Structure 1
Amino acid sequence: MGPEELTEFLDDVFPQIKGQMLIEAVGPMSARLRMPVGEQHLRPGGTVSGPSMFTLADCAFYVAILAQIGREALTVTTSATINFLRKPAAADLVCEARILKLGRALVVGDATILQEGQSGPVAHATMTYSIPPRR
């Protein structure tokens, strides 16, 4: 599945995030999403909130998986750990997700959140997803 097809699929099965993220690229075992940061993503002090960054990482990894396995809406997060590394400004965030192991039932990988002007990642997450059994 490519970016346009993935966007249409997400809009259909996950309307809660419609228009909140842009799928910039998908590749073998990877995806890159952009979150245009708005007022709804900020916490006091003018920095992007942790829940917003987690949502970006989770969605980027979901997209990376869907790009590999196809329309499997019930693929779900089973484990996630996120480390917040730098305070992001109120500006767009980009997340690069990669799959390290794509198994029959579990997918393991990570997601790195970046922001222009920062010397390194602003957050890093490790993710495990469960793929529903095929009947």
Structure 2
Amino acid sequence: MAVDTGDEGYDAFPLRSFLGFDIDDGVDGEAVATLDVDDRHLNPNGVVHGGVVFTLADTAMGRATLSVLGDGHICASIEVSVRYLRPITGGRLMATARVLRAGRRIVHLEGRVTVDGDDRPAAVFQASFAVLES
């Protein structure tokens, strides 16, 4: 099964399309995902649902992982720890991800989500991704 890890693959990713986020590669081992909050992202309390924040960060961490893998490899999150630090009620979310260590079978990362350019994180993440053959 071929896996498209380029921009077209992410553009065709149905969850990305539904949630409306964008993803950009940084330097190798880094990635940034952004999302402009609207009503579909809010829970009944008027706060961005934690799953939306998680999905944005998980996607950025996956893209950062892909940037350090060789051809013929894909990745999957196998462990993610999240700490939600403050509620998000609107604005532009930015998830940044950075590879801490890339092994042959597991990649370790950290990530954070900020709002509207405020450097204070709204959520922080630690993750491990499995390296798989495509």
TM over 0.5: yes
Quote the Cα distance in structure 1 between the aligned partners of 2:98 and 2:126. Answer: 10
Q: 1:91 to 1:10 in 2, by over 3 A?
A: same
1:81-131, Cα deviation, whole Å (9 max, x unpaired)? 100001112222001100000111000011100002756100001110001
Tell me the percent identity.
26
More displaced 10-residue stretch of structure 1: 96-105 or 18-27: 18-27
Quote the Cα distance in structure 2 between the aligned partners of 1:72 and 1:123. Answer: 32
Amino acid at match of 1:129: F
Partner residue of 1:15?
Answer: 14
Quote the Cα distance in structure 2 between the aligned partners of 1:105 and 1:16. Answer: 26
TM-score normalized by the length of structure 1: 0.83
Partner residue of 1:124?
Answer: 124
Deviation at 1:60, TM superposition (A): 0.5
Q: 1:37 to 1:69 in 2, by over 3 A?
A: same
Residue 51 (1) aligns with residue 16 (2): no
Q: CA RMSD in A?
A: 2.2
Pairing 1:92-103 to 2, within 5 Å after superposition? 92-103=92-103
Q: Which runs of 5+ in 2 are unaligned?
A: none
Pairing 1:1-135 to 2, within 5 Å after superposition? 6-12=6-12, 14-18=13-17, 20-69=20-69, 74-116=74-116, 118=118, 120-133=120-133
Q: Which runs of 5+ in 1 are unaligned?
A: none
Q: 1:118 to 1:86 in 2, by over 3 A?
A: farther
TM-score normalized by the length of structure 2: 0.84
Amino acid at match of 1:52: V
More displaced 10-residue stretch of structure 1: 35-44 or 93-102: 35-44
Q: 1:119 to 1:99 in 2, by over 3 A?
A: closer
Deviation at 1:41, TM superposition (A): 0.8
